[in-house]
Amino acid sequence: MLRGPKEKKERALGVRLGFKGERALSPKSALVRKPYRPGVHGPKSRPRAMSEFGLEIKEKNKFKLMYGVDEKNMKRLYKMAQAVKGAAGMKLIEFLERRLDNVVFRLGFAPSRAAAHQLVLHGHITVNGKKVNSPGFMVKVGDIIGVKSELTGALAKQKESLEQYDAPAWLTLQPGKMEGKVLSVPKDTEVPFEINLLVESFSK
């Protein structure tokens, strides 16, 4: 999991990446309070023209930060995407979406991917009834994802919000049981970044 002041990274990239759950949409968000790049010059700093290589790196960093994946794992997933039939960029997005921490987030069990990552690491999540504590575990069609722990604190609060939550079409959710199932591989996932620039960054 990527470490460091996450909201500062959002400001540097100029986009919301959902690190803080609901806070990201509130007036407390760093991007709302300080809608400019971090640094000593603050709001007086002027944006510099960026090279094509710089744009590619910036876009790759957005994906890495959004999904909480480091460079090594991103490269590994991209090689996997290249090895299968289909557009490498879209297959890479599919593999990122199928990570267990992302699925826990997509099912609404956690308010952010970072929180979902912690749930998995701490042994609160099961796949087909067995505890899995690897955030990068790749789910497959038919897998059932559940919450192992007693629902107290943040988990209990999150369960209350599931009745009004709509999971993506490739997942089905049973709010009462706090359980979800993978119906299909994720397709046509909308991401707010340029997938072509991401692919180009790996092609050099």
More confident residue, 164 or 23: 164
In a domain, 35, yes or no: no
In a domain, 86, yes or no: no
Confidence of residue 39 (pLDDT cuts 50, 70, 90): low
In a domain, 79, yes or no: no
Domain assignment of residue 167, given as a range:
99-182
Number of domains in the chain: 1
Name the amino acid, one letter, at 195. Answer: I
Question: For position 11, what pLDDT does the model report?
Answer: 52
Please enumerate in sequence order all residues whose Cβ is within 8 A of that of 202, keeping only pairs 6 or more positions apart, or say none. Answer: 60, 75, 78
> Once rounded to an integer, what is the mean pLDDT over residues 193-200?
87
In a domain, 22, yes or no: no
Distances in Å between the Cα of 77 and the Cα atoms of 5, 82, 98, 164, 202 are 25, 9, 11, 33, 11
In a domain, 167, yes or no: yes
54-88: pLDDT as tens digits: 888 888 988 999 999 999 999 999 999 999 988 89
Which domain CATH number covers 112? Answer: 3.10.290.10
In a domain, 71, yes or no: no
The angle at the Cα of 91, spanning 82 to 189, to the nearest 5 degrees, equals: 160
Question: For position 113, what pLDDT does the model report?
Answer: 94
Residue 51 and residue 33: Cα distance in Å, rounded? 29
Please enumerate in sequence order all residues whose Cβ is within 8 A of that of 73, keeping only pairs 6 or more positions apart, or say none. Answer: 136
DSSP string, 105-124: HHTTSSSSHHHHHHHHHTT-
Contact 103, 142 (CB under 8 A): no
In a domain, 118, yes or no: yes
Asked if pLDDT for residue 50 goes beyond 60, the answer is yes
Q: Which of 153, 150, 114 is nearest to 135 (CA)?
A: 114
Tokens in use for 146? 């559940």
Q: Which of 80, 133, 135 is nearest to 105 (CA)?
A: 135
pTM, two decimals, is: 0.77
**What is the average pLDDT value for the chain, to the nearest integer?**
82
Q: Which of 22, 10, 165, 189 is nearest to 99 (CA)?
A: 189
More confident residue, 116 or 163: 116
Residue 115 and residue 110: Cα distance in Å, rounded? 6
Confidence of residue 190 (pLDDT cuts 50, 70, 90): confident
In a domain, 44, yes or no: no
Question: For position 33, what pLDDT does the model report?
Answer: 57
